[in-house]
Every structure is written in C-alpha cells, then in structure tokens.
Amino acid sequence: MLWSLSTEIASPSSWHDHDIFEFALCLDQGGRLLTDDGEIDLRPARTILIPPGAHHRFELAADETSRLKIICVPPKDLPGFVSPLHIAMLDGLCGIGVSVADHPGQELWLGQLSNLIVDGLGTDDERSSQLNWSAMSLLLSLHAKGRYAAKDHPIDRHRAHILDLISWIENHLEEDLSIQQASFQSGLSRSLLTREFRHYTGKSFVDYCNARRVQKAAMILVTRSDSVTQAALDSGFSNLSHFHRQFKAHFGLPPAAFRRKVIEEGGLR
C-alpha cells in the first residue's frame, strides 16, 4: 500500500525520520529540506527521495510556504508492486542517502503524473491501486534517471547496461523494437541480455516494451484529448486489437473505460 498527501507547508518541522520511503515532488519555490548531510532547496520540478531512517526536517522562513506532493511507500510492499529494476534503483539510491533530481521544463507533466496518485491512505480497490503504483513507478524512473549515481553498486556488473537500455527503450517505444536491436544497443549477447533483462525487470524484453507502451498510452488518454486509436499509435501499437488486449490485461479496464474512470474520480480533468 502507498499513501500520498498534497500539502502546503508554512512552518518548520522538527527533526524526524521514518521507516518508509518518502518521495516528495516540489510544486513551487520556497523552503529547504535539512538532512544530516546538508540542505536541499525546495524548487519547482525537483524530486526528493528520502530513504527509511534518514534524519531530516523542513525549514521555512517566516514569509515562506512550500507546496509539495508527498508519497509514502513501505519497503515491505515494494516486491509485490514494483519491478526488480526499481528495487535495484532504490537500493543504489539509498546508498547515497537523500537523493535529489531536477526535471527542468517538466513541471506540468510531473504534476499530471503525480495527480494520478489520489491523496489518501491507500486504497483497497485493485484497479485504483494498479494505477497508483504504475504512476509511482514512472516517478521513480524519472527520479532515478535524473539522479542515479550508483551504477557501480555491487548488486550486478550488468546493471549499467540494462539501465542504459531502459532509457533507449523509453526514447524508441513508438518503433518496432526487437531483441536483436536491443542486443546491439546494449553490447550484450542476445542470451545474456535475455537473462539479465528479465532479472532486473521481471519481464521478457517484449513484455516489458508492451507494458511501457500501455503505460504511455494511459498517460496520453488522461492528459490529452486524443482518440484511443491515436493514443495506441503514438505509443507504438500498430495492431489495435493487440493494444486493447494488452491495455486491459495491464489496467483491468479497456482504454476508453480507463479514461472515464480516471476523469470521473477526479484524477485529471
């Protein structure tokens, strides 16, 4: 279970720590986060990941306020909801303590993505939970891409290749990707890539690409007015029947019903 809060902080907090991951998206300028290693300015389009046990507090001047979207995730829940790749990313990030990533020019998109995670103490609805975790996985990927600094972590010597390949996939989802192309791009043999890719993502190369395509289509459906067909094409699906099957398998709803559900529940309008 994850829970989230959209909040405006107007006064300093005391020093504290948690036994959870605390992910903060800064929505405007104002205030600082103090940690044992220094201070971090709170500024728009900045994401901050505070690992369990990290000592921190928020500091604001008398005339300052700070708007944040804060998402909390218990470590014990991660294996059931996020991929091994994200767990490996978090492991590496925790090794450097509190981590920061800036995403210039992506304020609107980050806000829309975070709004897919409805504020509250989690949900027992399976479909809403899937949507929350899918959005959280995307936010973690963006944060890791912006700040990841532990490619040499001893968890595995092939992680750097897989992380680079994941970034390549993200930029080429609309293309007809193949394991042969991925092998050439990563510099790993096809058999080694097949094994390592599944090890980190929990999916085959094809299944991972399809999952990312339906996630991209979902973002298009709830952030733009494009038709379902256009969303499928822009996400790399040329076969609409295949797109509908993949989308429903991933989100539990057909694309049009998914869009209606998000809009009616107030995720995005």
The predicted-structure confidence for 228-249, as pLDDT tens digits, reads as follows: 999 999 999 999 999 999 999 8
What is the dihedral angle through the alpha carbons of 184, 188, 191, 194, rounded to the nearest 10 degrees? -80
Gap between the Cα atoms of 132 and 11, Å rounded: 29
The predicted-structure confidence for 16-46, as pLDDT tens digits, reads as follows: 999 999 999 999 899 999 998 889 999 999 9
CB atoms under 10 Å from CB of 16, counted, come to: 10
| pLDDT bucket at 69, cuts 50 / 70 / 90 | very high
How high is the mean pLDDT of the chain?
A: 85
Tell me the pTM.
Answer: 0.57
Among candidate residues 174, 152, 165, the one with its CA nearest the CA of residue 192 = 165
Both structure tokens of 54:
């990290």
Gap between the Cα atoms of 84 and 12, Å rounded: 36
Both structure tokens of 235:
């996400």
| pLDDT bucket at 106, cuts 50 / 70 / 90 | confident
Q: What is the pLDDT of residue 269?
A: 37
Q: What is the distance of C-alpha 14 from the center of its chain?
A: 29
The answer to whether residues 142 and 110 touch, using CB atoms and an 8 Å cutoff, is: yes
Tell me what percent of the chain is helix, strand and coil, each rounded to the nearest 5: 50, 15, 35
| pLDDT bucket at 75, cuts 50 / 70 / 90 | confident
| pLDDT bucket at 91, cuts 50 / 70 / 90 | confident
Strands 66-73 and 21-26: antiparallel
3-state SS, residue 79: helix
Mean pLDDT of 167-188: 91
Residue 82 is classified by DSSP as S
Residue 90 is classified by DSSP as H
Residue 75 is classified by DSSP as G
74-78, 154-158, 207-211, 261-265: segment of lowest average pLDDT: 154-158
Q: Which residues contact 53 (CB under 8 A, 6 or more apart)?
A: 17, 18, 19
The proportion of the chain whose per-residue pLDDT surpasses 70, expressed as a percent, equals 91
3-state SS, residue 174: coil
Mean pLDDT of 109-122: 86
Mean pLDDT of 111-136: 83
Among candidate residues 230, 210, 217, the one with its CA nearest the CA of residue 259 = 217
Q: What is the pLDDT of residue 149?
A: 37
Q: What is the pLDDT of residue 228?
A: 95
Q: What is the pLDDT of residue 265?
A: 62
Both structure tokens of 191:
């058999």
Q: What is the pLDDT of residue 154?
A: 40
| pLDDT bucket at 108, cuts 50 / 70 / 90 | confident
Q: For the residues of 98-166, what is the DSSP string, one character each?
A: SEEEE-TT-HHHHHHHHHTS-SBS--S-HHHHHHHHHHHHHHHHHHHHHH---TT-TT-TTHHHHHHHH
**Higher pLDDT pick, 152 / 86:** 86
